[in-house]
């Protein structure tokens, strides 16, 4: 049965071979080489001045078939690595001597501890000794060196006050929102021609006749254009209202259609109205095709008669059917729905502008990442802000305060481990979404006087991480003291951890705490994603609550 962990497959093999196998430090190594590797290290000087370099050399004597991996990168912190020289190899029979030299420096005065370095030989870690390096300041001759007066104060132009920047930012956002709202309103607003096209045929015809009355066609003696528009208005009205093809019909054809409708009882027009309409159409034909020039008064009178014809035609039409009334009602509802949608768009744009101002102000004050995390949340933030649980795990007990309770893990022990281990209690919590893992392990040995081997435990933990795909692991070590004063060892660092189900690697950090005494060992292991500030706070809070009982 497997359980997916933070950086790999947290199955039973992982727990037994990686972190939990660190509890087996009391077991003898069953497989030994014919001659164990030998590792020695040293520096050319333990005292330098600021900016000077020291040469740290490590010599490894191993079999010729052994694979040796030296430290890489900035693993000598607080000293800085200037250069790593090529490895010098000397062979003698079936053994070889490898020498690796590093140039290190420091730019601040003081005493610095050159940390132990891990040399990996055939997958097994060997650690060098730590050294104390003294960095002295460079002496300055303040007597003979020429001194200069302090430069006078310079006036600088005052910057924009913070409140003014906020005000200008909010005004800029409001102006932008107003511009967007104006653009959409103008875009969705109907033009005068579109609004007029939505009017009923009668109202549109009367409005066009009124516009024709105010035109300058008759003043400029443009009779052809005048009568063309006049007959076009009445023909378009008849085609829309009476539903006959009036625009493409000749004068005779149009009159014939009107008479047929009158005889059928569908259009109740009197004879005199038809005669007046016929005279107007014949006059328009003469003007358009025979270049006739009627009198000004007659032309104006023809327009007045056309208005009467339009009004009489409207009155002569039968009452609209139920279907037509339904169509008119549908048109009215569509018009009202369009106006309602327009109001909704305006309100939405106004609300969007307010939200945009609030978002910009929040980002300016709190920062992009905080606003993003507050809006969308993160798994690690939810854990940090949730209700934490304080509990003790294993025997001797390890007291922790964690976001979630740790669950017991059953770990089968190999036969050779049963000879040395009396009991092993393992508890863990994994959150793949937050890339966070927490484990607590308590181990007791059959021999009550067996001291804990911290170095072997660290070595086995690192080997287990590498077996699960971790690479470029950087290790640092320091003393750790709980709130109650119990001292232990803290091993921490970073590396690249393989994500489950893919070949991708995720940059992460880890911390391993080791406590113990004669007959027992206690371990706390934490791993999380590098750069996750909420995970950093979770780990810091857990470390501040760690307590152990050192009496079995």
**Bridge-based pairing state of the strands 47-49 and 131-136:** parallel
Q: Which two tokens stand for residue 177?
A: 């929102």
Show the CA angle centred on residue 337, arms to residues 333 and 338, nearest 5°.
Answer: 120
Let me know: does 507 contact 487? Beta carbons within 8 Å: no
Domain ranges within the chain, ordered by starting residue: 12-24+381-548, 39-136, 192-317, 323-376
Q: 172 or 167: which carries more pLDDT confidence?
A: 172
Confidence of residue 58 (pLDDT cuts 50, 70, 90): very high
Give the pLDDT score at 419: 74
- The Cα 501–Cα 223 span in angstroms is 86
Of the listed ranges 47-51, 100-104, 346-350, 458-462, the least confidently predicted one is: 346-350
Give the pLDDT score at 266: 81
Let me know: does 437 contact 525? Beta carbons within 8 Å: yes
Give the pLDDT score at 21: 39
**274 to each of 184, 209, 279, how far by Cα in Å?**
49, 19, 9
Let me know: does 225 contact 217? Beta carbons within 8 Å: yes
Q: Which of 4-13, 51-60, 320-329, 461-470 has the highest mean pLDDT?
A: 51-60
Give the pLDDT score at 188: 53
Q: For residue 493, is it left (φ>0), alpha (ψ between -120 and 50) or beta?
A: left
Domain 12-24+381-548 of CATH type 3.30.930.10: no
CATH architecture classification, 192-317: Up-down Bundle (1.20)
Confidence of residue 288 (pLDDT cuts 50, 70, 90): confident
Statement: the pTM of the whole predicted model exceeds 0.75? no
Give the pLDDT score at 176: 75
**420 to each of 253, 370, 442, 518, 519, how far by Cα in Å?**
118, 51, 14, 13, 10
Instruction: Over range 502-510, report the average pLDDT.
Output: 83
Let me know: does 77 contact 108? Beta carbons within 8 Å: no
- The yes-or-no verdict on residue 516 having pLDDT over 50 is yes
Give the pLDDT score at 8: 38
Instruction: Over range 447-452, report the average pLDDT.
Output: 78
Q: Which residues share a beta bridge with 498? A: 505
Give the pLDDT score at 85: 92
Give the pLDDT score at 14: 38
CATH architecture classification, 39-136: Sandwich (2.60)
Mean pLDDT of the chain: 79
- Let me know if the fold of 12-24+381-548 is the same as that of 192-317: no
């Amino acid at each position: 049965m497997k359980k997916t962990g933070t950086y790999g497959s947290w199955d039973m093999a992982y727990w037994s071979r990686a972190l939990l196998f660190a509890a087996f430090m009391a077991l003898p190594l069953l497989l030994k080489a014919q001659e164990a590797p030998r590792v020695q290290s040293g520096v050319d000087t333990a005292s330098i001045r600021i900016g000077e370099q020291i040469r740290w050399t490590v010599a490894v004597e191993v079999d010729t078939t052994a694979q040796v991996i030296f430290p890489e990168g900035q693993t000598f912190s607080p000293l800085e690595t200037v250069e790593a020289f090529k490895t010098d190899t000397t062979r003698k029979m079936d053994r070889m001597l490898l020498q690796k030299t590093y140039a290190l420096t420091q730019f601040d005065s003081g005493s610095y501890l050159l940390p132990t370095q891990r040399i990996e030989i055939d997958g097994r870690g060997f650690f060098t000794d730590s050294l104390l390096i003294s960095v002295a300041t460079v002496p300055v001759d303040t007597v003979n060196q020429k001194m200069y007066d302090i430069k006078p104060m310079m006036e600088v132009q005052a910057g924009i006050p913070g409140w003014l920047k906020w005000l200008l930012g909010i005004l800029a956002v409001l102006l932008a929102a107003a511009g967007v709202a104006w653009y959409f309103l103008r875009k969705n607003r109907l033009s005068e021609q579109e609004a007029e096209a939505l009017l009923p045929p009668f109202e549109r015809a009367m409005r066009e006749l009124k516009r024709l009355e105010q035109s300058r066609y008759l003043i400029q003696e443009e009779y052809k254009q005048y009568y063309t528009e006049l007959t076009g208005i009445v023909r378009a009205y008849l085609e829309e209202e009476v539903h006959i093809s009036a625009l493409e019909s000749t004068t005779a054809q149009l009159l014939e259609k009107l008479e047929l409708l009158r005889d059928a009882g569908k259009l109740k027009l009197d004879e005199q109205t038809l005669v007046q309409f016929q005279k107007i159409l014949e006059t328009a034909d003469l003007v358009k095709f025979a270049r006739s020039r009627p009198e000004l008064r007659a032309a104006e009178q023809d327009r007045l008669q056309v208005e009467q014809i339009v009004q009489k035609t409207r009155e002569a039409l039968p009452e609209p059917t139920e279907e037509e009334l339904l169509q008119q009602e549908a048109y009215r509802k569509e018009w009202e729905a369009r106006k309602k949608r327009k109001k909704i768009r305006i309100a939405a744009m106004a609300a969007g502008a307010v939200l945009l101002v609030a978002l910009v102000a929040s980002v300016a004050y709190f920062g992009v990442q905080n606003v993003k995390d507050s809006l969308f949340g993160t798994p690690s933030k939810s854990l940090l802000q949730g209700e934490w649980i304080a509990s003790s795990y294993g025997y001797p007990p390890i007291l922790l305060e964690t976001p979630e309770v740790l669950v017991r893990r059953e770990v089968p022990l190999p036969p050779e481990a049963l000879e040395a281990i009396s009991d092993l209690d393992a508890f863990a919590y994994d959150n793949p979404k937050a890339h966070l893992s927490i484990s607590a392990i308590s181990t007791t040995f059959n021999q009550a006087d067996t001291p804990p081997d911290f170095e072997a435990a660290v070595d086995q933990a690192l080997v287990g991480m590498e077996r699960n795909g971790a690479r470029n692991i950087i290790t640092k070590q320091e003393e750790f003291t709980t709130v109650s004063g119990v001292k232990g060892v803290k091993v921490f660092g970073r590396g690249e951890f393989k994500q489950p189900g893919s070949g991708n690697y995720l940059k992460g950090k880890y911390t391993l705490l080791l406590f113990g005494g004669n007959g027992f060992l206690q371990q706390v292991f934490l791993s999380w994603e590098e750069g996750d500030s909420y995970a950093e706070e979770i780990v810091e809070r857990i470390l501040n609550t760690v307590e152990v009982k050192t009496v079995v």
